[in-house]
Structure 1
Amino acid sequence: MKGMMDAVIKTKAAPNSMEFASVPIPEIAPDQVLVQIKASGICGTDHSLFHWNAAIANSYKLSYPSIFGHEFSGVITEVGSQTKDMAVGDRVTVNPILYCGQCSYCAEGIINICDNRPFLGTDYDGGFAQYVAVRAQNIIKLPDAVSFKDAALMEPLCVAIHAVERVKPEFGQSAVVIGPGAIGLLMLVVLKNMGVGNVIVVGTDADKDRLETAKTLGANFIVNASEEDSVAKIRELTGGKGADVILDAAGHQTVVEQAVQMAAKGGRIGVTGLPAKPSELMMTQIAMREISIVGNRAYNLKNWFQACNMIAGGLDVGPIATHVLPLKDWEKGMDLLDQKQGLRIILEP
């Protein structure tokens, strides 16, 4: 055994059953590398699993003790005998989808909907620890220009890139992002960097600080749906036409219902949020106005290289990492998210 390491572990299938503990440093298989983690982000999934949201928890095959965390970066400290082009000291981030590489979806490069896709940080131990064992083919090497903190934001940036690509925005079109959390604000950044025209970000009273952040990140308009009718306001801001592209990053069942009312004829609605309840939609209206509703899950392989190149090329994702805490203060990070303070909380083991 290599020794012990600090980690945050989920001890049982119940709310709040996580603790800071000392556990064995993982042994690696011949096709794996050992990564010493330098930065690890707390995702909304991690937050939901901490509080034990049953709808999300039942989507994974969890075993206990379990180490969450799937947005992380670090340095390779050990390489398996069957790995290629990997070396101790390499600065890396990690694609947490352990895609099979053999199904028809993997053959098309759409690993996000692979038939057999265990996930680091749920099905296997993840990044809320000092070390993690990772399959070598899931490693993405980092350019020197990309910091560990920014690299820990690369996974949510991939989510945003994939979602934006799926709704196919065009130069000068109008776009709405509903939900100004980390993913929603990264969607905003991606849209602005693509040359989309007006980008409008919609939130609620609970998102006031995040809406202000949206302004600093380039939103043309912000809308507080707690204070005004968001559908009417989007119509007004688009000259009565409605928005060409709408992205749901909120995950509430009413969002797509509202998005249909906000959309222009031929509008495209991308669904990234994961509501716990079904939405009610008038399909006649969707058909008559040729509105498309597109589901988005995670990211494809190419999105990792896109995200890496964008950050290395100067894309500023730094404002998304609002707090940096030592790993032992993980519970403070969860408290901040409970209070809707901050966006991505970064833990440093």
Structure 2
Amino acid sequence: MLAAVKTTTYREINTQEWDMPKLEEGEVLIKVDYCGVCGSDLHAYNHASSYHFVDLPRVLGHEISGRVIDVVDERDQQLLNKHVFVESIQYCGNCSNCLEGKTNICLHFNVIGLHYDGGMAQYVKCKSHFVQEAPSNVDSSVLSLVEPMAIAIHAVETISNVKKGHKVLVQGAGIIGFFVAITCKELGAEVVISGLQEDKDTRLFHTENFGITSYINSELNTLSQDMDVVFECSGSTRALVEGFSLLKKGGDAVWVALYEQDIELPLALIVRNEWTIYPSYGCVPTDYKRALEIIEKYTNQLDSIVTYYPFEKAHLAFEDALKKKVLKPILTF
């Protein structure tokens, strides 16, 4: 089969012949239709220090949708020929965190496409209990958006305390920032999203399709400093610190992005203002159900924020994403 493979520590990804996955007990084989390029994929592509755990060569990709074409176990026969999407965080189910429902921080978890080969290939194998059948009324072209939407659902509805009427700032004009903003709007919050100057014409203008107000970062000083919640989704440590300046006393800071370096925090201000910090990582299985509901509601608008690339042009998709030329690149197969 053909796959888009990260082979070296250099900033490159190559389309090449790759071994067909061999199924083991409990696994299914998926013919991939679409695979999104995620921020985590970009970190791995850049060989960022926090992603040195990714062994090379590696087929990246965890935002996977496709059709099941083979199974091993009799109990999985009902998945044959069904359109499905894949849960990215693949947990043990037995550790203390899993038993508390916190499968996203399983003590032994793996992420498909990082710890082992993922969906940027014509075929991918996966344990059947991490495969969810897609509703027939959700178009397969947007199914690979379910996973990033589930991450937003987890941050907004599981981790944070966003309520109707809350003032919310979302920092970061990438797909997670967009989906966090949409989810907050669904809860009745007053939402603004911010990004860089270069985001204005390539990414931020899409907010109009969702009824969300956007600002470039240099304009944020015109906002009142009384945000109930600030979501940091950009991955910028500078933005993370600046977010506190717009947070009201007693407000919440929710950190959704991953960062490539450590920083000093204004600890005295955090204590004196009783700001609560909530890290949010990944999602749990129940987040996907709610994600599907929002994906279904906004299917027409979501198509406008996606740029599709044939998987043979994976390198271009990665480069365009890094240069912020597109909001959401998705590889097609």
User: Per the shorter chain, which TM-score range?
Assistant: over 0.9
Q: Report the AA paired with residue 286 of structure 1.
A: I
SS at match of 2:79: coil
Whether the 8 Å contact between 1:143 and 1:312 is mirrored in structure 2 is no
1:82 deviates by 5.5
Per the alignment, residue 110 of structure 2 pairs with 118
Whether the 8 Å contact between 2:168 and 2:228 is mirrored in structure 1 is yes
Structure 1 residues 42, 292: CA separation in 2 closer, same or farther (over 3 Å shift)? Answer: same
SS at match of 1:144: coil
Matches of 1:339 and 1:252, distance apart in 2: 15
Whether the 8 Å contact between 1:30 and 1:83 is mirrored in structure 2 is no
Per the alignment, residue 322 of structure 1 pairs with 306
TM-score when scaled to structure 1? 0.90
1:118 deviates by 1.0
Q: Report the AA paired with residue 71 of structure 1.
A: E
Whether the 8 Å contact between 2:210 and 2:301 is mirrored in structure 1 is no
Per the alignment, residue 128 of structure 2 pairs with 136
1:214 deviates by 1.9
Structure 1 residues 21, 146: CA separation in 2 closer, same or farther (over 3 Å shift)? Answer: same
Per the alignment, residue 269 of structure 1 pairs with 253
Matches of 1:106 and 1:86, distance apart in 2: 26
Matches of 2:321 and 2:191, distance apart in 1: 25
2:28 counterpart of 1:38? no
Per the alignment, residue 294 of structure 1 pairs with 278
Structure 1 residues 315, 192: CA separation in 2 closer, same or farther (over 3 Å shift)? Answer: farther
Say how many residue pairs are matched. 331
Whether the 8 Å contact between 2:164 and 2:188 is mirrored in structure 1 is yes
Per the alignment, residue 223 of structure 2 pairs with 234
1:335 deviates by 2.2
Matches of 2:46 and 2:238, distance apart in 1: 23
Structure 1 residues 312, 330: CA separation in 2 closer, same or farther (over 3 Å shift)? Answer: same
Per the alignment, residue 205 of structure 2 pairs with 212
Root-mean-square deviation (Å): 1.7
Q: Report the AA paired with residue 5 of structure 2.
A: I
1:160 deviates by 0.8
Between the aligned residues of both structures, percent identity stands at 27
Structure 1 residues 317, 99: CA separation in 2 closer, same or farther (over 3 Å shift)? Answer: farther
Unaligned runs of 5+ in 2: none
SS at match of 2:14: strand
Instruction: Out of 303-312 and 326-335, give the one that drifted further.
Output: 303-312
Structure 1 residues 82, 98: CA separation in 2 closer, same or farther (over 3 Å shift)? Answer: farther
2:174 counterpart of 1:185? no
Structure 1 residues 65, 280: CA separation in 2 closer, same or farther (over 3 Å shift)? Answer: closer
Deviations 1:137-182 (A, max 9, x none): 0011100111222110011101111111212111111000001111
Unaligned runs of 5+ in 1: 236-240
Matches of 2:82 and 2:305, distance apart in 1: 23
Per the alignment, residue 51 of structure 1 pairs with 46
TM-score when scaled to structure 2? 0.94
